[in-house]
């Protein structure tokens, strides 16, 4: 798939931008802060309805404006669809496909698919478990858009259950009756276990599917590494006893919730479920050396290689599903030495559409020659 036209209204620094695009490689070149990332961020937003840079929508709307609109013509198998999202911070966002409103904005997710490489990717390796959970869940939803619903249901259940735990815990401490709160809690235990098990089962099978691609990608981007050097492993918040299907996982979660009832009431938060899980990343250092967690042990270069490998693996997996996602390389080349730049460029050059941002034209490897736009003071001008 590829985007053939991008329109922005009051998105980030742009009052208006109209950018015609082509398949193949397109580079956006310009000095810092000129608006290069804002362009590719807009396309990524359409794909996931979230940004790789901020957690809320407000910063995406141009300062002083009330709403932003991102519109893109997306070509897939020779057919064009115009996708549009209207961002209304504090209110519901609205989505349209070929001008027809969608009942819910999240139905837009997955109609355009992107894989973004950016300097923020280092948080996949060095950041909190929540960064790695988001990585897995974003990929899940891109592969199966219906899971956006499961994900948001789970978040809602968690919020409700946490507030109930707080009420019941406070009642217990104040020795007032907590019977009502506890019986309602039983209902939410069940919701948490069932929806949590669905998310968990999907994540477990995603990690299995991704694992071989991660090893292969790490071998390509880390000098001297083999495909056995990089491993990923799902780390659940409790012992799953080998369960992998939804029914069995729901039973495990429910039993664990009951076992930890007192703890949860004391702390007023849900301590069991996929929101407490992590993705363990390890690298080996040759035969007999054993594997070490990347976080806390790996060098800066190894950490970068692992982060790149996770993105490349996602791209390969989406491609294996039969669809070529749009690749976005946001400011990554400045972080890599010449050899790795060339390696990465070679790996991605064959994608249907590659969008690159760089402050300096020379940072873009020759293998990624293609269309070029200059971005300066909010003006986007085609150069070649
Ligand atoms: N909501 C907003 N309203 C107005 N301007 C904004 C908004 N959000 C970001 N900006 C401006 O957009 C500019 C940043 O644009 P962008 O991140 O695309 O830069 P860039 O060209 O990619 O730079 P770099 O090379 O440093 O990454 C900054 O000047 C910032 O102040």
CB distance 359 to 30 below 8 Å: yes
Last residue of a domain, one of 322, 350, 371: 322
The pTM (predicted TM-score) of the whole model is 0.89
212 and 313 together in one domain? yes
The Cα 357–Cα 344 span in angstroms is 14
Give the mutation target among 11, 19, 34, 41 for probing the ligand 1 site: most ligand atoms within 8 A of CB. 34
- What residues in the chain have per-residue pLDDT under 70? 173-179, 285-289, 384
Do 364 and 317 fall into the same domain?
A: no
Q: Of 178, 180, 191, give the one whose Cα is nearest residue 272.
A: 191
| pLDDT value of position 256 | 96
Ligand 1 nearest-atom number relative to CA 357? 22
Of 2, 80, 8, 95, residue with least CA distance to 48: 95
Give one DSSP letter per residue of 276-319, joined into a string: G-EEEEEEE-STTS-EEESTTTS-HHHHHHHHHHHHHHHHHHHH
> Other C-beta atoms within 10 Å of 280: how many?
16
Same domain, residue pair 288 and 373: no
Same domain, 229 and 344: no
Q: Where is the binding site, in residues?
A: 30-37
Residue 325 carries which DSSP code? P
Among 35, 40, 329, 376, say which to mutate for ligand 1: greatest number of ligand atoms within 8 Å of CB: 35
Candidates 112, 67, 87; CA nearest to 328 is: 112
The whole-number pLDDT of residue 319 equals 92
Q: How many folded domains does the chain comprise?
A: 2
Long-range contacts of 336-341 (CB under 8 A, 24+ apart): 336/304, 339/223, 340/221, 340/223, 340/305, 341/365
Closest protein CA for atom 16 of ligand 1: 35
Q: What is the pLDDT of residues 6-56, one digit of tens each?
A: 999 999 999 999 999 999 999 999 999 999 999 999 999 999 898 888 888
Residue 37: name the closest of 21, 20, 56, 54 by CA. 54
Question: What is the reported pLDDT for 228?
Answer: 77
In terms of Cβ atoms closer than 10 Å to its own Cβ (0-12, 13-18, 19+), residue 378 is middle
- Which residues does 323 contact at the CB level (< 8 Å), separation at least 6? 1, 76, 113
Say whether both 197 and 345 belong to one domain: no
For residue 92, what is the domain's CATH number?
3.40.50.300
The domain that contains 234 carries what CATH number?
1.20.1050.90
| Ligand 1 neighbours (beta carbon < 6 A) | 12-13, 30, 32-38, 59, 61-63, 331, 357, 359, 375
Which protein residue's CA is at the shortest distance from atom 26 of ligand 1? Answer: 32
Q: Which atom of ligand 1 is nearest to the CA of 358?
A: 25
Residue of the CA atom closest to atom 28 of ligand 1: 33
The residue nearest atom 18 of ligand 1, judged by CA position, is 35
Question: In whole angstroms, what is the distance from residue 181 CA to residue 296 CA?
Answer: 42
What is the domain extent for residue 254?
A: 121-322
CA atoms within 13 A on the CB side of 271: 17
Cα of 33 vs centre of ligand 1, distance in Å, is 5
Per-residue model confidence (pLDDT) at position 384 = 67
- Taking CA atoms only, the protein residue closest to ligand 1 atom 4 is 13
> Are 237 and 379 in the same domain?
no
- Looking at 271, 301, 322, the residue that finishes a domain is 322
Please tell me whether residues 53 and 23 are part of one structural domain: yes
Q: Which of 296, 322, 348 is the last residue of a domain?
A: 322
Whether residues 145 and 43 fall in one domain? no
For residue 4, the model assigns a pLDDT of 98
173 with 99, same domain: the answer is no
**281 bridge partner residues:** 232
- Three-state secondary-structure class, residue 68: strand
Pair (47, 157) in one structural domain = no
Together in a domain, 285 and 341: no
Residues 32 and 100 in one domain: yes
Taking the centre of ligand 1 as the mean of its atom positions, its distance from the CA of residue 18, in whole angstroms, is 17
């Amino acid at each position: 798939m590829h985007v053939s036209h991008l329109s922005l209204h009051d998105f980030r620094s742009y009052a208006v931008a109209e950018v015609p695009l082509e398949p193949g490689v397109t580079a956006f070149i310009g000095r810092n802060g000129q608006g290069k990332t804002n362009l590719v961020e807009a396309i990524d937003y359409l794909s996931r309805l979230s940004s790789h840079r901020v957690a809320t929508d407000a910063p995406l709307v141009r300062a002083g404006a009330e709403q932003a609109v991102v519109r893109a013509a997306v070509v897939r198998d020779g057919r064009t669809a115009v996708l549009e999202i209207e961002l209304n911070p504090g209110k519901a966002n609205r989505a349209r496909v070929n001008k027809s409103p969608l009942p819910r904005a999240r139905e837009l997710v997955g109609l355009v698919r992107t894989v973004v490489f950016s300097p923020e990717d280092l948080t996949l390796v060095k950041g909190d478990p929540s960064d790695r959970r988001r990585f897995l869940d974003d990929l899940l939803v891109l592969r199966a858009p219906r899971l956006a619903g499961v994900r948001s249901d789970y978040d809602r259940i968690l919020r409700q259950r946490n507030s109930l735990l707080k009420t019941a815990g406070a009642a217990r401490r104040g020795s007032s009756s907590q019977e009502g709160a506890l019986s309602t809690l039983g209902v939410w235990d069940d919701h948490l276990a069932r929806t949590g098990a669905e998310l968990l089962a999907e994540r477990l099978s995603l990690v299995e599917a991704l694992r071989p691609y991660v090893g292969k990608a790490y071998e390509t981007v880390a000098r001297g590494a083999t495909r056995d050097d990089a491993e990923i492993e799902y780390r659940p918040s409790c012992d799953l006893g080998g369960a992998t299907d939804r029914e069995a996982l729901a039973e495990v979660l429910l039993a664990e919730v009951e076992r930890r009832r007192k703890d949860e009431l004391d702390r007023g938060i849900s301590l069991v479920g996929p929101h407490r899980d992590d993705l363990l990343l390890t690298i080996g250092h040759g035969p007999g050396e054993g594997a070490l967690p990347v976080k806390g042990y790996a060098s800066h270069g190894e950490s970068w290689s692992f982060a790149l490998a996770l993105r490349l693996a996602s791209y390969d997996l989406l491609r294996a599903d039969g669809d070529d996602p749009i690749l976005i390389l946001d400011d990554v080349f400045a972080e890599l030495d010449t050899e790795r730049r060339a390696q990465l460029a070679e790996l991605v050059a064959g994608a249907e559409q590659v969008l690159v941002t760089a402050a300096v034209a020379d940072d873009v490897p020759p293998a990624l020659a293609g269309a070029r736009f200059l971005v300066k003071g909010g003006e986007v001008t085609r150069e070649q």
